[in-house]
Structures are given as structure tokens and as C-alpha cells.
């Protein structure tokens, strides 16, 4: 009886010791990736502004020089984050301070030249700062939508990464790439979301440039990113719809998940508004916000945080001035 009890004791102790080692290993792996042990349930995400290019909007809101479409703010807020606007044409110290205060950054879509715009210049600085943080073990996510996807491609691959295509005002399905289920972006996606993306036109496309499989390789993008999904444009030519960085939590989609729920211009027939499309759009917002929950940055004080949030700005109606956006935040 005593011998049997000893065996049971040793077996239980061995199991406990094994679980303790396993737990320690997972903690070490988590810390090595720079992720928090417990989620940050008050994530704040920076959204980069850009120059106003629409002539009618520019004329009506002539006191301002840059904007953020309100749909991006709602996209993130609806997934459980708060938003800080990131202004353009400011000092390097400003961008470094912002990146060290927020838990991730979103590069929105738009129609700006990436080479000489404030959006492009600030985006390059932020991308490099985020890369340095991740290299140092500080888990800091980036998300690029449409122009933001192109910005990431341009930063890594230069002009050769981008080619002309014609996926403008069109809803498209995704053609998933080999290995997509091993990706961070899709490995935990619900089966119905994957099914909808594969079989129905769930992604809103509004772009004149894209990245093809050929330019992805020839520009060297494949050294840092991996393709997750493709789509076909009006001419049935294939372009990359989704990608993620191999080593960093950087994600890019050529389509607009935020538009499914928050943009309503009747001329934009390429935006799906079904209940299914809403769930699809929300999936991407929730995924990125959950990535930001893994980061522990904070502002220097509650007062500075409060002064920095988007709540200090007004969202103006812009649909009436021939804008594709229902509302925009403007900045001086």
C-alpha cells in the first residue's frame, strides 16, 4: 500500500513538475516575442492622417490641411480600441513619442503620392520605428489598408513593388494562398468567415495600383512578407489582397474592411453591406485590436492621453461635397 501511494505521489509530482516547466517555457517564449502576459484591455491605436486631395472638400474645409476618414476610427472603436490621430509634417521626435505611447498604428487608404507626401514620409518613419521596437522584443503591430498596404510594399520593395491595376469600386472574393491557415491573420479565423471570404464578394476594392506575385518577388518583398490571399481585377489579372510580415506583427490588405459597415455612398456599389459582410469586416478590426492588446505602451500621464485622443476633434459630414466618405476628421 505504501509503495503504491509513493508511485502515485511521484507520478503526480512528475506531472506537476512537467506542467511547471511547460508553463515557464511558454512564458519565456511570450516574453521573447515582447507580448504582455495579460492582455492590455485599454488599447489605443494611432491612425495616420493624410493630405486633403478632393477639391470640393479642400475648398469647404480650407482651414485644414489633413484628414482621417471617420470610418477607420469607428472600425477600431467598434473592435474595442480608442484612437489617436497622427498628424503629418511634424518632427521625428513627435512620431517617436507617438509610437512609444500607442499600442499599434493603422495606415489608412487614400489617394496620396507615397514619395513626396507627408503621409508617405511619416509612414516611413513610423514603419522604421515599429521595426526597431520589434527587433528589440517590443511587440508592436502595424496595419495597412489599401494605400497603407501599398505604403508597406513601397517601403520594403520600392517602386518596383507596385503595378497598375483596375480593381476600382468592386467587391471581390479571396483566393487563399498556400499556408494561409498557418498565418497569424487567418489561423484562428472562424470557419464561416473563411468560407464567406473564399466564396462571396466580401472585400471592397478601391485601388488603381496593386502588388502582383511577380512584383512581390522581383522587388524583394518576399524576403520580409508572405502572401496570404489573392484577388482578380476587372481584367482578370491577379493581385495580392492580403499579406503579413514573417517576423513582425505587420499586416496589409489591399481591400477596405472598414467600408462594409461605415461607408454608404450609393455610387460605391463595390461595398458589400450584408450582415455577412459586416461580420467579415468586424473580424479584421477585432484581429488587429487584439494584436494591439499584446503591447503595453502608454502615455506619460492620463492628462496627456486624454489630450491626444480623437475625442478632442469633430467629425464633419463630407458626403454632400462629393466625397466617398460619410464623415472625416480634419487637422491643421
Give the model confidence (pLDDT) of 96-115 as tens digits: 999 999 999 999 999 999 99
Q: What's the rounded Cα separation, in Å, for the pair 220 and 235?
A: 26
Among residues 165, 207, 256, 328, the one annotated as catalytic is 256
Overall CATH class of domain 43-331: alpha beta
Give the model confidence (pLDDT) of 263-286 as tens digits: 999 999 999 999 999 999 999 999
Answer whether 157's CB lies under 8 Å from 221's CB.
yes
Nearby residues of 126 by Cβ (< 8 Å), 6 or more positions away: 46, 48, 86, 95, 98, 99, 105, 107, 142
Among residues 146, 165, 210, 328, the one annotated as catalytic is 146
pLDDT at residue 9, rounded to an integer: 37
297 catalytically annotated: no
Provide mean pLDDT across the span 72-90. 98
Query: What are the residues facing 247 on neighbouring strands?
Result: none
- Residue 72, pLDDT > 80, answer yes
What ranges do the domains of the chain cover?
Answer: 43-331
Give the model confidence (pLDDT) of 17-59 as tens digits: 444 444 433 343 443 456 888 999 999 999 999 999 999 999 9
Q: Which residues in 71-107 are b (16+ Cβ under 10 Å) and which e?
A: bbbbbbbbbebbbbbbbbeeeeeebebbbebbbbbbb
Nearby residues of 228 by Cβ (< 8 Å), 6 or more positions away: 176, 177, 180, 183, 185, 186, 241, 242, 243, 244
Reported in sequence order, the residue ranges of the chain that DSSP labels E, i.e. its strands, are: 44-48, 50-51, 66-69, 82-86, 105-107, 142-145, 163-172, 175-176, 203-210, 225-232, 238-245, 250-253, 315-317, 327-331
pLDDT, the chain, mean = 91
End-to-end CA distance of the chain: 82
269 catalytically annotated: no
Amino acid at each position: 500500500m505504501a509503495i503504491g501511494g509513493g508511485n502515485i505521489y511521484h507520478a503526480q509530482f512528475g506531472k506537476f513538475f512537467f506542467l511547471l516547466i511547460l508553463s515557464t517555457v511558454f512564458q519565456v517564449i511570450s516574453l521573447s516575442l515582447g507580448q504582455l502576459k495579460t492582455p492590455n484591455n485599454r488599447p489605443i491605436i494611432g491612425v495616420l492622417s493624410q493630405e486633403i486631395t478632393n477639391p470640393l472638400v479642400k475648398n469647404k474645409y480650407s482651414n485644414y490641411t489633413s484628414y482621417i476618414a471617420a470610418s477607420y476610427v469607428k472600425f477600431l472603436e467598434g473592435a474595442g480600441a480608442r484612437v489617436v490621430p497622427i498628424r503629418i509634417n511634424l518632427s521625428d521626435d513627435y512620431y517617436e513619442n507617438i509610437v512609444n505611447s500607442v499600442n499599434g498604428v493603422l495606415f489608412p487608404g487614400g489617394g496620396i503620392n507615397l514619395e513626396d507626401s507627408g503621409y508617405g514620409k511619416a509612414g516611413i518613419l513610423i514603419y522604421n520605428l515599429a521595426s526597431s521596437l520589434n527587433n528589440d522584443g517590443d511587440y508592436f503591430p502595424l496595419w495597412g489598408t489599401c494605400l497603407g498596404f501599398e505604403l508597406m510594399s513601397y517601403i520594403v520593395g520600392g517602386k518596383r513593388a507596385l503595378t497598375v491595376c483596375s480593381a476600382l469600386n468592386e467587391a471581390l472574393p479571396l483566393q487563399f494562398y498556400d499556408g494561409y491557415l498557418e498565418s497569424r491573420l487567418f489561423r484562428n479565423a472562424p470557419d464561416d468567415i473563411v468560407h464567406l471570404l473564399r466564396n462571396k464578394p466580401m472585400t471592397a476594392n478601391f485601388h488603381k495600383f496593386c502588388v502582383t506575385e511577380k512584383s512581390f518577388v522581383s522587388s524583394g518583398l518576399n524576403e520580409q512578407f508572405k502572401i496570404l490571399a489573392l484577388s482578380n481585377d476587372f481584367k482578370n489579372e491577379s493581385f495580392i489582397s492580403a499579406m503579413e510580415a514573417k517576423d513582425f506583427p505587420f499586416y496589409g490588405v489591399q481591400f477596405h474592411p472598414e467600408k462594409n459597415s461605415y461607408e454608404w455612398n450609393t455610387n460605391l456599389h463595390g461595398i458589400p453591406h450584408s450582415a455577412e459582410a459586416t461580420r467579415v469586416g468586424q473580424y479584421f478590426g477585432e484581429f488587429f485590436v487584439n494584436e494591439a492588446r499584446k503591447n503595453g505602451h502608454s502615455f506619460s500621464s492620463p492628462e496627456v492621453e486624454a489630450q491626444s485622443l480623437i475625442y478632442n476633434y469633430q467629425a464633419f459630414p463630407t458626403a454632400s461635397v462629393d466625397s466617398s466618405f460619410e464623415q472625416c476628421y480634419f487637422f491643421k
